[in-house]
Structure 1
Amino acid sequence: MAVSPPDFARLLTAGGPYPFPVEGLEARIRVLPGVPLSLPSGRVVAIEPFMAGGDDADAMAFTARVAPGTYQVVLSEIVLLDAGGRVKDRRVAAARLVVRDEPVARWELAVTAGQDPARLGDDEYFGYPVDGGTGCFLDAETYRALEAEEDFGDRVFDAMYPGDSVTVPSPITLAVGEDPTAVVFFTTGFGDGAYATWVGRTAAGEVACFVTDFVTLSDEDEDEDEDGDEDQKD
């Protein structure tokens, strides 16, 4: 069967400490303030921003749709502390696009047209590839508008590194055209990989949120010597 959803109750809630597979370190979760994202069509795309506009927008959008509007993107951050309580590192653990502030009754993989979770093998999942250490949320209409913008990747880089190669903390909002909140992007966990996005639904079946997990916390009961990484399908 396809990979199971992570422990979102832990991942999306400030707390800890949690075990971390590096001796002398423990992890805590910190939830950052939300930032607005425009969804003019309500068709959500999650992708590495350097790749935005490179494919057909309809093919990139998730099949789960929401009402057009402006929603909050909220990041969960993993903070790594040493035995003395000093911060040794901090990374984005998950990015959540909040649609409804309601409890999630069930989770499902976010899929695009033609992706069928029933065809996934053990521990396989659909996700987007990252090789520039960043991810983002945007609307399909915004994605389509970026097809004509040749320098968007440069804008992403300049926003992340405005001078002297100092990284701006996540999240970062970029304008497209006259829309000042068209793209929200952020760093992705410990770097490159392939990351799944999940749809959280309410008890009534409505979309409550989209969450991309950057695989920074393992299940506490997971064997550390299990074979390799989980398989990913584009």
Structure 2
Amino acid sequence: MVRVTDARLRAGAEVAEYLEEVLTAGARLGVLSDHPLTFVEVVEVSEVTSIRIPSGRLIVDSPWTDEEPRELKERISPGVYRVDAAWVEAPHEFMGEYVSGRECAAIRLCVRDAPVVGWEMGLAVGDDIERLQKGQEVGFETDTAMGCFSDAVAWSALTAPFRSFREACESREPGTFVSRDTAGLCDGYFERSPDESHGADLLTFVANEGRTVVWLGRTDSGSVASIVVVPHLDMLA
């Protein structure tokens, strides 16, 4: 039997349908908001990399945050987890040129290989569900359009390259190039920051500017199978 979650966290029918479709190659998600005759289609769902979460405590937040990072209440087993990306395309003409409209439309941390039967918003440590109104969204906030999956215990070490980069940018001479000590993946859509002292990783991904909801996909037993983020919802009409 499906675990009954709090109605304030449960995804509505439209959102649940989108979460299923965006992770299905070949699915049509809708049309572009500024090109109503152009369909947005999922052309590929593929593995980006695997990341190490040795503590079982997962942060999903911006690596640039100056606040206490948003650690999920939901714990996962310590281990190595595959991260998938769903890629969409919406071919159209823009300023006289053809563009593919390729974007990363969903990022999934694969917790276990089991069917998802329901979706809910992921609460963070310290969130008070009693203060949450039905229809209100919870998630992490960022003005950099970047989020990440990260081991919580190793957070300080894993985000060090971002702090160092920001400090270097603030003190650099005009015209000086500053690089970031991370590994770019998928043509720069993702960045990986490892820390061998903890045996842990951080992986960045594209997020919404403002609030980004973290969705937990649960199995019929109530366990979490997927942790998913879906940016670029505003591209659809």
| Contact map agreement 1:40 1:69 (CA 8 A) in 2 | yes
* Corresponding residue for residue 194 of structure 1: 211
In structure 1, the partner of 2:154 is 142
Which residue is equivalent to 1:214? 231
Residue identity matched to 2:64 = F
**Alignment-derived partner of residue 63 in structure 1:** 73
CA contact (8 A) 1:26 1:82 kept: no
Aligned-partner SS, 1:175: strand
> Quick one: structure 1 residues 161 and 28, their matched pair in 2 at CA, closer, same or farther if it must change by over 3 Å?
farther
Aligned residue for 1:229? Answer: none
What is residue 8 of structure 1 aligned with on the other side? 19
Report the counterpart of residue 56 of structure 2 in structure 1: 42
Tell me, what secondary structure is at the counterpart of 2:76?
coil
The SS at the match of 1:9 is: helix
Output one character per residue of 1:161-208: Cα deviation in whole Å (capped at 9) or x when no partner: 99xxxx9332322222446761111223xx522100011111111111
What are the ranges of 5 or more consecutive residues in structure 1 without an aligned counterpart? 225-234
* Displacement of 1:135: 1.3
1:185 matches 2:199: no
Distance change (3 Å), C-alpha of 1:25 and 1:181: farther
* SS of structure 2 residue aligned to 1:25: strand
2-structure distance, mates of 1:136, 1:50: 10
Shift of 1:94: 1.5
Q: Report Cα offsets for 1:66-120 as digits up to 9, x if no partner.
A: 110000111112322128xx54322221211100011012211111123234532
C-alpha distance 118-14 of structure 1, shift in aligned 2 (>3 A): farther
Which TM-score applies when normalising by structure 2? 0.73
State which of 74, 85, 100 in structure 1 corresponds to 2:84.
Answer: 74
Structure 1 contact 79–90 (Cα < 8 Å) conserved? yes
* 67-76 vs 25-34, greater mean Cα deviation: 25-34
Question: What residue number does 1:26 align with?
Answer: 39
Aligned residues: 207
CA separation of 1:216/1:72 partners in 2, compared to 1, >3 Å: closer, same or farther? Answer: same
Pick closer, same or farther for the CA change 1:160–1:103 going to 2, 3 Å. Answer: farther
User: Is the 8 Å Cα contact of residues 158 and 194 (structure 2) preserved in structure 1?
Assistant: no
CA distance in 1, matches of 2:8, 2:26: 28
Q: Partner letter of residue 71 of structure 1?
A: Y
Contact kept, 8 Å, 1:44 with 1:138, in 2: the verdict is yes
Contact 2:182/2:193, CA 8 A, preserved across alignment: no
1:124 aligns with 2:128: no
What is the aligned-residue RMSD (CA, Å)?
3.2
Quote the sequence identity (%): 26
- Kindly state the Cα deviation for residue 33 of structure 1 after the two structures are TM-superposed: 2.1
The alignment's TM-score, normalised by the length of structure 1, stands at 0.74
Q: Cα distance 1:161–1:44, how it changes in 2: closer, same or farther (>3 A)?
A: closer
